[in-house]
Amino acid sequence: MGDVFKALADPTRRIILDELTEQDGQTLFEICVRLTSRHQLSLTRQAVSQHLAVLEEAGLITTRRQGRYKFHHLDTTPLAAILERWPVTRKGQAP
């Protein structure tokens, strides 16, 4: 679970996850374009690729290859495990 928290600690990786939430199944090129155009983040493809690797190692994204392209998909399973382990409660309510 530590890998998940490490992956989520970086604001750029959280933005990438937000982008995959909005449009799942993006290529590296598509993610780079969205980061530049929507968030004014001018990262190299290599930098974005490294962020994606951290997210994949944490289990927050999965990938699939189709021809020359690699598509990135959001996987919320690790987040569900966190919520299961530490349920969110409202102030004054029992878990």
**Is residue 93, in this structure, part of any structural domain at all?**
no
- Which residues neighbour 58 within 8 Å (Cβ) at sequence distance 6 or greater? 3, 4, 6, 7, 8, 78
Task: Decide if 94 is inside a domain.
Answer: no
Number of domains in the chain: 1
CATH number for the domain harbouring residue 33: 1.10.10.10
Instruction: Report the phi/psi class of residue 27: left, alpha or beta, with left for phi > 0 and alpha for psi in -120 to 50.
Output: beta
Name which of 16-25, 52-61, 82-91 the model is least confident about: 82-91
Question: Model confidence at 49, in pLDDT bands (50, 70, 90)?
Answer: very high
* Structural domain span for residue 58: 4-85
pLDDT in tens, 52-68: 999 999 999 999 999 99
Mean pLDDT of the residues in the chain: 93
pTM score of the predicted model: 0.87
Burial degree of 27 (CB within 10 A; 0-12, 13-18, 19+): middle
Q: What band does 48 get if pLDDT is binned at 50, 70 and 90?
A: very high
pLDDT of residue 92: 61
**Pick from 45, 51, 69: which is nearest to 12 by CA?**
51
